Structure 1
Amino acid sequence: MPETSVLSDQDERPLRPAMLRGWRRRCPNCGAGPMMRGYLKVRDACPVCGEALHHQRADDGPAYLTILIVGHILAPVLLFVYSTWRPEPLLLALMFSFGTVVLSLYLLPRLKGGLVAFQWAKRMHGFGPAPDV
């Protein structure tokens, strides 16, 4: 069951629940409304609680994090698979290309949601009480 407690501007915003909601691509404030309108497009506001999300400045951060994580996961696996079983180069390239694409497509929107939630929890880029000018 989604949490429905909505925080005001004076309340401290807990980081861990906000980032878990962002990972699930939910509003960092209420956890009930969807944060994304499409695959990577963040909504201007939450349809449930009305929290403004247009302040987010994720930019290239989620892509960099995705590359970092996928590289750190698949590079040791590639080394292990190659040194243990010595598969054909074409098979190895196909397997790891597919794994890279699938893992990247899975992680990218979740990392973007987490980054937007981090900005919300830390009151960055206009998420605080003062309006963004």
Structure 2
Amino acid sequence: MNQSPAFFTAFSRGLRGRCPHCGEGRMFRSYLKVEAACPACGVDLTRYPADDGPAYFTILIVGHLVIVPILFIPWVWQGPTLVTVPVTLGFLAFVTLGLLPIVKGAFIGHMAYLRLTSDQAERHTADQA
């Protein structure tokens, strides 16, 4: 496809784990593995290098929207440490692992909107070196 989708369209399709171009095919074949090509429209999905971006944004989101409010719960500070730490860490792991594929899909959708492919990313990195 030589036409990139509109920003909101590509971003929302990515959030749902669908192909940012057609919205029909699934983007992931497993937890975080991106399909080689969209099963519906055939666009190459491996050309969008997500790399560490989704992990960074997931940590940013969880840190600001989950950890900070948890610190205001008195139970976290007053409860027994042997209960509080495993419960809190388990909850944080659950939220982080649940959010990561959603953020990765949105990240790839945004890259599809920008038409930023792996070739362009490699050239940009080489130019800065």
> Fold-level match, TM-score > 0.5?
yes
Partner of 1:52 in structure 2?
A: 44
Identity %: 39
Partner of 2:124 in structure 1?
A: none
Moved over 6 A (4+): none
Contact kept? 1:35, 1:46, Cα under 8 Å: yes
What TM-score does the superposition give when structure 2 sets the normalisation length? 0.83
Pair 1:110 & 2:84 matched: no
Q: CA deviation at 1:126?
A: 5.7
Equivalents in 2 of 1:84, 1:35: separation in Å? 38
Partner of 2:20 in structure 1?
A: 28
Unaligned 5+ runs, structure 1 = 1-7, 129-133
> Which of the two has greater helix per residue?
2
Q: How many residues align?
A: 120
Unaligned 5+ runs, structure 2 = 121-129
Pair 1:100 & 2:120 matched: no
Q: CA deviation at 1:90?
A: 2.1
Deviations 1:89-121 (A, max 9, x none): 222212211111111111111111111111111
Provide the secondary structure at the position in 2 that maps to 1:80: coil
Equivalents in 2 of 1:121, 1:114: separation in Å? 10
Contact kept? 2:10, 2:20, Cα under 8 Å: yes
Equivalents in 2 of 1:46, 1:99: separation in Å? 33
CA RMSD of aligned residues (A): 2.2
Larger deviation, residues 70-79 vs 44-53: 70-79
Q: CA deviation at 1:70?
A: 1.0
Q: CA deviation at 1:21?
A: 0.7
Deviations 1:35-85 (A, max 9, x none): 001111111110001111110110011111111111112222222113787
What TM-score does the superposition give when structure 1 sets the normalisation length? 0.81
Contact kept? 2:4, 2:115, Cα under 8 Å: no
Partner of 1:4 in structure 2?
A: none
Equivalents in 1 of 2:95, 2:14: separation in Å? 18
Pair 1:61 & 2:53 matched: yes
